[in-house]
Amino acid sequence: METKKKNNKFKYIFYFLVIAFISVYVSGKTGYYENKLKKNTLLTNEAIMQFEKDLEDGKPVDIKDYIKADVPDYRNIYSKAGDKLSNTIDTILNDGVGKLIDFLKALFS
């Protein structure tokens, strides 16, 4: 009876880790972080264009009008480690499948 409870706890921990890995992997593969960085760059480019237009029009310019407040980065060591782990596993799996296919080609040709 005691081993069944330990096994049950292990099963829940395992499911939690699998779900956490899949969510970090999907967010990395869909480009969530890159999309956020691209959006910030786009806003900066728009601010530069507005600044240049205001200079051409002779309007008084103030740096505070063009710089947006920094958006806090909520990534932490755990999300970065999870993203790095998912990228490593992805690389290993892709290389492994590629080598397996090459091996099968060599075996049957």
Report percent pLDDT > 90 for the chain: 6
The residue written with tokens 């900066």 in the block is 44
Instruction: Outline where the chain has alpha helix (H).
Output: 2-29, 32-57, 77-108
Q: Tens digit of pLDDT for each residue in 60-88?
A: 877 777 776 666 677 788 888 888 898 89
Q: At a CB cut-off of 8 Å and minimum separation 6, what does 68 contact?
A: 43, 47
DSSP SS3 for 71: coil
- Exposure class string for 11-30: b at 16+ Cβ within 10 A, else e: eeeeeeeeeeeeebbeebee
Q: What is the pTM of this model?
A: 0.35
DSSP 8-class letter at 109: -
Among 3-7, 41-45, 49-53, 62-66, the least confident range:
3-7
